[in-house]
Chain A
Amino acid sequence: MKSNERGLISPYDFKKPSVKIGYSLMILMIIVMAVTMIYPFLNTFFSSLKTREEFFSFPPTFLPKQWLWHNYVAAWTDFDLPLATFLKNTIFIYLGNIAFSIIFIGLAAYALSHLRVPFKKWVTLYFLSTLLIPPATYIVPNFLNLQSLGLINTYWAFWLPSATNAFFLVLLKSFFDGIHKEILEAARIDGASELKSFLRIAVPLSTPILGTLLILSFSTTWNDFYWPNIVMQDKTMYPLATGIYRYVVYPQSVIPWSIRFAVLAMAMAPPVVFFITFQKFIVRGLTVSGVKG
């Protein structure tokens, strides 16, 4: 909002003392909010640089007396904690997920939006009605189903189901709906096949929505710790979040707190940095989706 534009409160209102007090309280509230939001981040980061003794010292210190960067090295080397493998798995799962979801969901959304599909209404309903069924209710049969397909402890258990995201389908379809038929018609007259017009016209035109999908999918993959914990059975197959859940923050963890915090700080750095860099995309994703949980 530009300063010359009025908001709810007009410049005239500020002459009243009650409004001034109210506005100051409001600003105070926002400052309190900002501090509450920022403090845990700083605390996590600074605690990760403390020695074991200082971590528990009373009264607690905010800044570490000595910046002990060694904690970060120790997290990678000193414990039986294959962080590099976990990280590699996460990236592997993510790349597969986006490949599968963009190819299959993209083709289906494009067809529903621009091509002739028999029983189109029913097909759309078949896809979209799954949005109404909460995933939590079929966790157990989903596991049994993957088991009977022999996909347990393989990455296919993530890649193939990642293409069954009706929410992404809606996002892509509504974006494709905005592409003018004339462009595709022109391509057809010029002799492009449907696959070619999808790859050469629809996909390049929808980079903004694809960017949003990449980000949403990244945060899901990076965050998810429970489902991989069930589907994967080898320590070498776990993604990062599951690795942390099983070997770092479990209740009787043997890893010292300051090193635990070093691991946590490293695990949250990518999404936080990612968010700050791509904030515009993410906020758009949030508003495109209207409201997603």
Chain B
Amino acid sequence: MEVQLNVQTNSTVRKRINWYLWGTLFVIPEIILFFVFLWVPIVKGIVYSFYNIDFVEGNVFVGFENYLNVFHDSLFWISIKNTFYYIILGIVLGFWIPPLIAISVSELKWFQGVARIVGYLPSAVPAIVLYGMWQWFFDAVGPINSFLSSLGLSKIDFFSPHMAMVSIVLMETWQNFGSATLIYIAAVVSIPKDIYEAAEIDGAGVWQRIRYITLPSIKTLMMLLLLLQLISTSQGFQAHLSMTNGGPNNATLTYLLWMNQTAFTNLDFGKASTMGSIMFFFLVLLSIIYNLFQRRSDAA
């Protein structure tokens, strides 16, 4: 306390330094690390998008040439189309399952804890193990196809151009829906039971209670999770890389997979930086639009 009083009455430079000494010392290493390993790459990405990167002869400024190259590449539109297809499939196949399961599980009288653990278990599987396992499950002679043919049904070619993306989304849904379900369960369980009681006395059936009480209570959470799913699926490429490597016939080439191939297979770092920057600007634009939208709906 004495120190504080001194500084307030007599603010010499030395006192000022002491005042901030420890806080500054504690923060500076982290500021430097963030600068070197986050902010420099982020800014360099945009700078490099105007350069032709060459490790031997040095970088050359080329203006908008990289951008033109990207836009004129036929893979650009294919990969964007695939990315959107992937995002939409993720919503169609995966988004509605967690709330459904969450409502059901929260109504279980026994084994509720077991159901939660079992649902979450696939999330513990490392990505690369997941891909290895499902390569076999989706195989032409793998378990799913053996099961189908033992039922007398025709086999599914999971890696055909039409099915490959669907297969990847199915696999990722298997892995990811557990964590979303846990979050929904927490929200569903926290809804006060009195509301259901009151609705029941007023004559609302079970379905009406779900429709008018449960779903509205988790609506905000659903929007949030939808947004997060959009953000994460728009960046998806590792599953596509390991399962199909973008094939067959570029059917699973997402935008970021194309970017990574351009950088680390074709070693065209300038063009790849440009692709990263395009994605960056696009996402920034999206978040500005989202914020404007949010503000308008808040004002209304």
A interface, CB within 8 angstroms of B: 1, 3, 5-10, 12-13, 19, 22-23, 26-27, 29-30, 33-34, 36-38, 40-41, 43-44, 47, 56, 58-60, 104-105, 107-108, 110-112, 115-118, 123, 126-127, 130, 132-134, 136-145, 149, 160-161, 163-164, 166, 169, 193-195, 198, 219, 222-223, 225-226, 230, 241, 244-245, 248-249, 251, 257, 260-261, 264, 267-268, 271-272, 274-276, 279, 283, 286-287, 290-291, 293
Q: Is the CB of A105 within 8 A of B30?
A: yes
Range of interface residues on B (Cβ < 8 Å): 35 or more
**A163 vs B29: C-alpha distance in the bound complex, in angstroms?**
10
**A274 vs B117: C-alpha distance in the bound complex, in angstroms?**
12
**A275 vs B124: C-alpha distance in the bound complex, in angstroms?**
7
**A264 vs B126: C-alpha distance in the bound complex, in angstroms?**
9
Q: Is the CB of B115 within 8 A of A268?
A: no
Q: Which residues from chain B contact A8 at a C-beta distance below 8 Å?
A: 103, 106-107, 196, 206, 209-210, 213-214
B157 interfacial contact with A, CB 8 Å: no
Please name 29 pairs of A and B residues whose Cβ atoms are closer than 8 Å in the assembled complex, sorted by A: A8-B213, A23-B107, A27-B104, A29-B104, A33-B115, A33-B118, A43-B137, A44-B133, A60-B146, A104-B30, A107-B29, A117-B20, A132-B287, A134-B231, A136-B235, A136-B237, A138-B280, A140-B273, A160-B36, A223-B126, A241-B127, A245-B242, A251-B245, A260-B132, A261-B132, A261-B136, A275-B123, A275-B124, A290-B224
Contact stretch, chosen from B41-49, B68-76, B160-168: B41-49
Given A133-B42, A249-B132, A37–B121 Cβ distance below 8 Å? yes
Q: Which of B31, B112, B129, B256 contacts A267, CB < 8 Å?
A: B129
Q: Which residues from chain B contact A132 at a C-beta distance below 8 Å?
A: 287
Which applies to chain B's interface (DSSP): helix, strand, loop or mixed? helix
**A268 vs B276: C-alpha distance in the bound complex, in angstroms?**
32
